[in-house]
Amino acid sequence: MLTNTLALRKEIAHLISAKKKVKISKLNHSTFSALGFDELDVVEMILEVEKKYHLVIPDELPLKTIDDFVQFVGSPELKQAS
């Protein structure tokens, strides 16, 4: 499972890095707000992740870091619901 989580983290980091033109090393160690991302930036990232993984991320889900995306996309509950 750890290997899958690391691979998922890498995929999501690359996706967001390409979309927002931010180095992956900065994404890995910062919150989105610390990088200067506003709510619209986060919505754009959500849309990209939803499109890539064919899922819907609930509006109420707090997404402040790459790890928040990884936890949601990689959650066992999400896989069981599919």
Tens digits of residue pLDDT in 21-73: 999 999 988 999 999 999 999 999 999 999 999 999 999 999 999 999 999 99
The answer on pLDDT for 3 being more than 80 is no
CATH number at residue 43: 1.10.1200.10
Report if residue 40 sits inside a domain: yes
Number of domains in the chain: 1
Could you tell me if residue 65 is inside a domain? yes
Residue 1: per-residue pLDDT = 52
Query: Nearest CA to 44 among 17, 6, 25?
Result: 17
Given a contact cutoff of 8 angstroms between Cβ atoms, the answer to whether 8 and 70 are in contact is: yes
Whether 80 is in a domain gets the answer no
pTM score: 0.86
| 62 falls within a domain | yes
Domain hosting residue 15, numbered range: 2-74
Is residue 67 domain-resident? Answer: yes
**What's the pLDDT score for residue 80?**
47
Structural domain contains residue 14: yes
Residue 82: inside a domain, yes or no? no
